[in-house]
Each structure stands twice: as structure tokens, then as C-alpha cells.
Structure 1
């Protein structure tokens, strides 16, 4: 696995160039994207597309080539392979087949944004691309539920510019407008931008300046005085005085903006403790 630049072509390591130059074949998401990178560095090697839609089908032939002693280099369109990019199935299959696998470190948009954000760097939780529509609210609500049971982490996603505003609105609905956040845009490129502030300020900024390019979105951990867990238990204990566990969960879930199944599970725990 070889990490490639996320924007600035100067961000490639000598080891990465050597690996590309000595590979028998380079496996890539999009041959057109990788061809441009290779052309820039004067490298000519066979390219084979390996992406989400064909990775499983290509595994047997790729493993056989590795068994025959070929050196295959896996790259993504930008950044570190497998990190929210194709390649996991191939890496897993090679490991299970006891074939040698190594990774040459390099650029990564999530880590770059994290170091620039000013948000707590550890722990952090990388979550890939957010879901869409109602599933996105459920995903965020699940994370908020984890915070109410003790999760204290900076959250990181990749996002497309045309979905950023909707995602920010959903984050505000679940985590609150004043939660600290940051958005990295076009990192390492000429028009790199790092916007820092609250979620409300992020939304206002990108409503005024429509986002373009590659986006990395980060949300800071809840404040130390966050009372979410206490609020949930207080509301449930009050509701359980006059309602069944199921009805109490249905009553409280909208108030705390959490999935009903999550609130139901906590209500069951409280009911058992009371017994």
C-alpha cells in the first residue's frame, strides 16, 4: 500500500516513488487519476482498476499473482489506501493467505485536518462519509448516545461540498449549534482553507461562501460540563414512575434527540436497578 498526495504533488515520499517505479502492476481506484500522477513523475507501469465494484471479483487472480512472486502496489486516488478507500478486502485476503503486506506511510486528509483544526487530537474517531437523509440523523444520534455514556472524542468525516450544508444542519440538530467544529477544504492545495468555530459558525460561513473541493469535517468532543447522560437518566426516572419501560422510552426519546431503541435500552437498565 502506497500513500499518494491528497493535493500537492510534492507530498510524495522517495520510498513511494521507488515502490511505484519497481512495481509489476499498480492497482488503483481510477486509472485516469493515477496515470496523471505517474506521468508527472515520468513513471510508466501497467495499471489495473481495483475499486468497490470489482475488488471481490479480482481477489483470486490478484492473490495468484502475489503467490507467483509479483509485486503489486495498491494506491487510492489520493491519500492513504484503505482509509475510507478500496483495498481492505485485498489486504485482508493477502494476510489470510500468509502473503507479505506492507504499507508506505504518507498523506492523509483526516489526520492533516485534525492537526490543523485546533480540536483535541486524541482520542479521535474517523467515520468515513456520513450517511444521507434520515439515516444521517440516526447515525449522529447514535454518536450522541455514545457521548451520553462517556465517549469523549473528536469526530471526523469526509464530505462532498454539495452535501456539506445539509450535514451541518443535521449536526446542529443533534449536537447543538455551539459545539466546536472545523472544516478543512482543499488541504495542501493552492486554495487550502481551514475554517474553525462553532457548528453554527460553520453553517453561516458556508452559506455565504458555497463550499468547493475536497472536504474534511471535524466536530469537537462534548464540553466537560455536558449533562446529557444525567438529563437522560433524570427524564427516564421521572417517566418510569407513571409509565411502562416502552412508553417511557417513547416519551423521552424526542426530548433528548436520541433513537428510541437507545433510550429503551437505558430505560431497561434503570428499571432493573430499581428492582
Structure 2
């Protein structure tokens, strides 16, 4: 099936690399006009070039998701370019690992600002433009399996991703009560091959400067025995963004190879 989001306008934060780039590429391939935002300008431009080379439509905007004024400007640019917004993928995120007794308050707040405040601001500023079209919309908030279960070295990260999970449900109910046609769901990736794993590593761990062996980790921890790829998450996001999921809101889409049920 092609053109599953044809005619729709999508905004993907953190879209320059990893899961965000995968989402932007898949949405564009299925017909959406995609606005990619990130703070990694060179990678963002490369992502847009790749989408356009494949025949898709995309544009890149520099965007710090912790800055409310930046959110207002991004939404204003989306409105000026496209006149509407149908899909928001709140994907931008960071991971800071380490013992909770050693984590600085500055790091706690920085992680919360990106992972949780950024999602709040995206929802706050996107909903009015979605409502203005009268056609509803789909908001997909990127959580994690760390938003479903705890991890000994990821206390702060788990707090933010768990917050995204319940915030998503609350906003889903708010939109449902408003009868605005906007659906709000969260996605929970497991071990996916993305750059974020370098920041999850404990700096004190021997070999931490080398890329983690996700294949070995997955063979040990994931029931399916293999790691996931950004496109695996993007395919789930595509379904939530499309009209195929018209009756789904406030849900958790877990894409982890069975990791959380072992």
C-alpha cells in the first residue's frame, strides 16, 4: 500500500538521525510533506537531501525543543509553508546514564527539558494548528521501554520516558473530550541501532569509548534475538500517523522484539 499519508503535513523533531530520520524518510515515502527539525544542522540538511533524492518532499529547520519561542516559530513556519499540520512526531531526546546518587541536578534538568518539556511544548503548540484544519491529526510521542520498566543506571531517563507515557494518555483524553479528532499515542522502542547508545554507556565502563555491541546485547536480552532498526520504529509511527489507526488513541505501541515481556 502506497501513499498512506498522502496529502498530510508532518513535523518530526530530532529528525536528523536515528529513529527521527527513519520516521521522516518513511512518512515522506508514503506521501507526507515532512518538516524535519533538529539542532544537528548538517545532518538535518543531509536527511532532507536524501528524502528529496528519493522523490519526497521535506524541509529542515534548526530547532531547540526546550525553547518555547523556538516552538512558536517552527509552528508559524509550518503554517506559512503548508497552512496545516496533520502529524507531529515528538522524537527529540537525549539519554544521560549513571547512578542517581552521582547525577548532577543540572544533568537531571537538562534531560527533563529535552525529553519531557520538549514533548509538552510540541503538543501545546501543535494542537491549535491541527485543530484549525478541522480534519483532526495524529500526535506520536516517542517514549521507550525505559518508560515501562526501570533500569539501574537510567533513573533520570526512565523518569522522563515514563512521564511521556502518562502525559500522552492525559492529552489523548483531553483531545477526545474536545472531539477535535486528534489522536495521541506513544511509541516504546527497545534496542534499536541509533547513536543514543553511546550516551547511555557508563563512561567508567571499560571500552565505553567504543560503539556498544547491540547484536550481542540483543542476542542475550531480546526474545527475537536481534536488534531493531530505525525503520522498524518508523513503520509503527507510520501506522499511528495514518488513517488506518483512526480508532487508536491513548495507546502504547511497544516495538522491542519482546524485550519487555521476557
Please tell me the TM-score bracket, short chain as reference. Answer: 0.3 to 0.5
- TM-score of the superposed pair, with normalisation by structure 2: 0.34
Task: Return the structure number with greater relative CO, CA threshold 8 A, min gap 6.
Answer: 2
Structure label with greater radius of gyration: 1
- TM-score of the superposed pair, with normalisation by structure 1: 0.33
